[in-house]
Structure 1
Amino acid sequence: MTRLCTICARGGSKGVEGKNLMDLGGKPLLAHSIEQALASGLFGVVAVSSDSEAILQVASEWGAEVIIKRPGHLATDRAPKVPVIQHAVQTAEAETGMHYDTLVDLDATSPLRVPADIVGAVGLLETRGVSQVITAMPARRSPYFNLVELDAAGHVQLSKRLDSSVSRRQDAPACFDMNASVYVWTREGLTNWQSPFNPDTLLYEMPEERSVDVDSPLDAEWVRFLYESRDTRSYD
């Protein structure tokens, strides 16, 4: 079984300027994902894709084996992520001369995952024989209980309704919040990707404290707090 890890880190960011290189615990944010990928022991190659020379230099310094300069049309804030990953995979395969069976993408802005999360998500895909696994955490809000929408008249209604009402959140169907941490595909699953989920996509559950994605200045402060306060002995 051959496995490739990609990490795609764009230079521009509207939410948090320079977030992929922001300091977290004395390391650039990107470095945490590279180190986690290497520590998992799963990958023949870790590849980093970016339009930023500064990011690519940091990636090389922290152990990424394949450095990929992303083309301009895949580096805009409107570019969807999967084509970026597909380009990274194609480039890494061309450079290494390898064809990879399992493809994993780690989001550089989700630094609180641990190697065991990567191993668990990959293991779920490979043991169950599915084409895709995503990671998520239990949702804080439920569309069946306390997540609402406005109808055409501006009146409040639940986002999803059941045949019978739900009086406690605990009684509502389980819902999950995608945490943008680990994405896993088979080669065919990624090559033939057309929508966010394949018909057989499975979910690997992660706890909330390892699921923060840096999308705003508040997220960045929350990640720093969690990183500095957690007991690292619990994350081996």
Structure 2
Amino acid sequence: MRICTITVRAGSKGVPGKNLRVVAGRPLFGHSVAQAVATGLFDEIVVSSDSEEILSQAPAFGATGVVRRPAEMATDTAGKVPAIAHAVRTTEERTGARYDVCVDLDATSPLRTIDDIRDAVALFERAEPESLITGAEARRNPYFNLVEEQPDGTVAVSKTPDDAVLRRQDAPRCFDMNGSIYVWRRSSLLDDQVVFFPSTILFEMPAERSIDVDSEFDFRIVEWLMGQRGDL
């Protein structure tokens, strides 16, 4: 069985109230809930939040359950993975079911497609890793043109390759995590509550579907892209 969580904090410093801000006709978080529904993959779709307004709206977009996020998991310094694990455990207690595949869709990444979710889950189930993350190919490469400041104020390439890299195309491929889709085995999520394991794999997404809303500038880009592809 599969569960999808959408964990949504009420607070945001970059864009106050961003998860309830309307974009393309619905609150930002509502896009992730509706996308989860449209995949047809999940036995449960659960919104976890410390906001009563978000929790009250979630069923309208297709959420099958809501979980009140504990205050200690909703601070600016709290990690997201414990809140996901809490949502899964709470839902299992409510339903009596056991969810073998746990998927989280980030509420601030509405540009993913239904096929992105389906294909990421299919890759996970085919490869059987502990976890899967999503990302886009990085514009800067730590082996070639991403530099790191040294203690004396000089700079050097962040990662020193065994052989000199004269062209970016010859450097190992690197990716920016886009935070859009995470997938775990149940035991890995609940027991370890981390993202990375030795077997973690990546599902690649294009840059135009990898924008995470963290500023007003991001919001404007997302609105424009949704308009271009007909989401508005």
Please give the range of the TM-score, normalised by the shorter of the 2 chains.
Answer: over 0.9
In 1, Cα distance between equivalents of 2:182 and 2:30: 18
Match of 1:201 in 2: 200
Task: List aligned pairs for 1:1-236, cutoff 5 A.
Answer: 2-193=1-192, 195-230=194-229
Amino acid at match of 1:114: T
Note the aligned Cα RMSD (angstroms).
1.2
Q: Gaps spanning 5+ residues in structure 1: where? A: none
**Structure 1 moving runs of 4+ over 6 Å:** none
Cα drift, residue 229 of structure 1: 1.1
Encode CA deviations 1:67-123: one digit per residue, 9 max, x unaligned.
111111111111111110010001111111111110000000000001111111111
In 2, Cα distance between equivalents of 1:136 and 1:117: 11
Amino acid at match of 2:58: A
TM-score normalised over the length of structure 2: 0.96
Cα drift, residue 223 of structure 1: 1.0
Cα drift, residue 224 of structure 1: 1.0
Provide the secondary structure at the position in 2 that maps to 1:180. Answer: coil
Cα drift, residue 231 of structure 1: 5.7
TM-score normalised over the length of structure 1: 0.95
Encode CA deviations 1:33-56: one digit per residue, 9 max, x unaligned.
011100111001100000001111
Length, aligned pairs only: 231
Cα drift, residue 194 of structure 1: 5.1
Q: Gaps spanning 5+ residues in structure 2: where? A: none
Amino acid at match of 1:143: P
Amino acid at match of 1:43: F
The range that moved more, 175-184 or 23-32, is: 23-32
Amino acid at match of 1:146: N
Provide the secondary structure at the position in 2 that maps to 1:192. Answer: helix
